[in-house]
Copies of this chain bind each other. A is one copy, B any other.
């Protein structure tokens, strides 16, 4: 398991007239969480795209527990629960407010796709290499 944490502050334009962070923006925050999580591993999503691999989303699940509000400085905790398998990777995301109250849980599945052919492909070797140490079982 690999986990990384980043912060996102709720922007005015992301609130709605209910006074809450609009439900559609959580997906954007999960994205920030993913990108920063792999950046901390030494992987730049941007470079992976430039090298010809894109990572479109195939499945999203969000559970809205408590509303986030304007100007909240949210903690976005992103977990990769397992190594990519069959060209698919999962990210789990917990969003908490500054007091540590859990507001939202997200799960996102993405597939590695060849940018030129738009066909499913395998992750780059370095992607797996960077992740592997977090998934090795300790020697008995």
Instruction: Give residues in A with beta carbon < 8 Å to B.
Output: 9, 11-13, 15-20, 22-25, 27-28, 31-32, 35, 44-46, 49, 54, 56-64, 67, 70-71
Contact = CB atoms under 8 A, between A and B. Distances in A.
A11 B23 contact: no
Contacts of A17: 12, 15-20, 49, 70
A59 B63 contact: yes
A28 B27 CA distance: 11
A64 B56 contact: yes
Contact of A12 (B31, B44, B63, B71): B31
B12 A35 contact: yes
B22 A24 contact: no
Contact of A20 (B32, B56, B63): B56
B57 A71 contact: no
A54 B22 contact: no
A35 B11 CA distance: 9
Contacts of A11: 28, 31-32
A45 B71 contact: yes
